[in-house]
Structure 1
Amino acid sequence: MDALFKALSDPARRILLDSLRSTDGQTLQQLQGQLDMTRFGVMKHLGVLEEAGLITTKKVGRFKHHYLNALPLQEAIDRWIEPLLVKPAARAVLDLKSKLEGHETMTKPDFVMQTYIRCTQDALWAALTEASAHAAYNFMCQDVRRDGDTLHFQTPDGNEMLVCRETALDPKTRIASTFEPKWAPGVPVSQIVYLIAVEGPFCALTLEHYNIPPAAADGIADGWARTLSGLKTWLETGESAKFLSPQVQ
């Protein structure tokens, strides 16, 4: 928590975060244009933000892309401001195979979020693959059922909200899936990837989301912050956690 507030205390670092909030996935060269300082100076600020968990990076070819990671801020807000809501719900990911099979390394994700969870690799894998587990922490869905390689998410009123079809599984380390929204007509299918890495008693979970429709970007980012916060809380406490938005409380 100290690293978080230290990172936020500098106005230059807040400018970098604001820039990533506006346009995620920028390179060092793009971000350098936001500040009147040397390339090395910007790199130092980005290092502080990454150490605090406020940004995460992905290298594609020769370029490193930087992404705003909202989870540390969300967790700080949840700790002191937001009440923990326990209520049936769930949320998830949409549908399509395309670029995740063979071209993924050539494409940068539109959105990246990372969190560290005190749990075993087996427990995190089960939480991401078992339908009943999704229903314990997903913030919008009451019921989740599996049909082969596909997860169907339903809201408390029985309507289908989301369909996710797994397109690639590397046991306990990587899940690629489609993300097909059903909550609004005409929202195109996008793709997500979960990456799991063990770091001592913790698991580092990275979520990458590809081909997000621009009009849906803000809502999807907010949804992931609530879903992954619920996942972390559930795995670390054993209690079902639903971080509902004010619009659905």
Structure 2
Amino acid sequence: MDAIFKALNDPSRRALLDALRRRDGQTLTELVETIDMTRFGVAKHLGLLEDAHLITTVKRGRFKYHYLNAVPLQELVDRWIEPMLAGPTARGLIDLKTHLEKDTAMLTQPKPDLVLHTFIRCTRDALWEALTRAEIRAGYHFAAKSVEGDLAKPGDAVAMTRPDGGPMLREEVIALTPKSRIEATFEPAWMPDAPSSRTVMLLEDSPGGMKLTVEHYDLPPGSEGVNEGWSRLLSGLKTWLETGESVRFAQAG
């Protein structure tokens, strides 16, 4: 947490975060054009932001793309601000990580529109169950009243309902590597006319626990709230796995 406050205590680094908030997934060359600073200076600031987990990166071919990682900031809000605004609400998942499969097939893949990562004190088996079993997901999802369907194999689908009983979200597994990777469709019922987008969740061992990375592709216009939704979801997941508490980090009101 000290690293987060140190990283934010500089106007140039805050300007870089603002630039990524306006348009996520920029290269170093693109970010240099947004700030009056040398390429070396921008690269140094980006390194500090990445060390604080406020940004995450994905490499596609010879290009390295930078993404705003809102999860640590959401954790600060949840810790000190939201309890005063929203009262006790159910709590979920927190920190997501970028894991890249470095084979030549990756070089032709498009860059994601959104990348988040988190670190969780848990086993690989526990994280996999929490991501794939409906009854567990229902306990930490920030907005779903119920979750039906497990993610066990390609073709499996999950349907989520809102607190008022209406449809909220549908996901269908496209490809799956057990306990390592889930690729699925993302079909939001709150945007009925929007085309389906695609998500990839990557699990990786980390000292003391696991790294979880979420990549979101093909987001349609009007999806600005998806970043915050993932942050709240991940906060609930992290809390559930580390404490056993079922907490939903719902938006105030």
| TM-score for both structures, normalised by structure 1 | 0.89
1:115-164: per-residue Cα shift (whole Å, max 9, x none)? 11111111111111111111011111111111761011011222111110
Aligned to 1:222: 228
Q: 2:129 aligns with which of 126, 130, 149?
A: 126
Aligned positions of 1:1-249 closer than 5 A: 1-83=1-83, 85-87=88-90, 105-146=108-149, 149-216=156-223, 218-246=224-252, 249=253
The answer on whether the counterparts of 1:135 and 1:142 sit within 8 Å (CA) in structure 2 is: yes
1:76 Cα offset (Å): 1.0
**Worse overlay, 204-213 or 140-149:** 140-149
1:184 Cα offset (Å): 3.2
C-alpha RMSD of matched pairs (Å): 1.9
1:37 Cα offset (Å): 2.0
Q: Which amino acid aligns with 1:143?
A: S
For 2:229 and 2:177, locate their aligned partners in 1 and report how far apart those are by CA, in whole Å: 25
Q: Which amino acid aligns with 1:244?
A: A
The answer on whether the counterparts of 1:88 and 1:156 sit within 8 Å (CA) in structure 2 is: no
Structure 1 residue ranges without an equivalent (≥5): 90-101
Q: Which amino acid aligns with 1:220?
A: V
For 1:9 and 1:61, locate their aligned partners in 2 and report how far apart those are by CA, in whole Å: 33
Structure 1 counterpart SS, 2:82: coil
The answer on whether the counterparts of 1:230 and 1:241 sit within 8 Å (CA) in structure 2 is: yes
Q: Which runs of 4+ in 1 moved over 4 A?
A: 102-105
For 1:153 and 1:190, locate their aligned partners in 2 and report how far apart those are by CA, in whole Å: 16
Identity %: 56
Larger RCO (alpha carbons 8 Å, 6+ apart): 2
Aligned to 1:97: none
For 1:143 and 1:34, locate their aligned partners in 2 and report how far apart those are by CA, in whole Å: 44
Q: Which amino acid aligns with 1:226?
A: R
1:40 Cα offset (Å): 1.4
| TM-score for both structures, normalised by structure 2 | 0.88
For 1:157 and 1:36, locate their aligned partners in 2 and report how far apart those are by CA, in whole Å: 50
Structure 2 residue ranges without an equivalent (≥5): 93-104
Structure 2 counterpart SS, 1:48: helix
Q: Which amino acid aligns with 2:41?
A: G
1:1-31: per-residue Cα shift (whole Å, max 9, x none)? 1100000001110010000000000000000
For 2:221 and 2:181, locate their aligned partners in 1 and report how far apart those are by CA, in whole Å: 26
1:86 Cα offset (Å): 3.8
For 2:237 and 2:42, locate their aligned partners in 1 and report how far apart those are by CA, in whole Å: 33
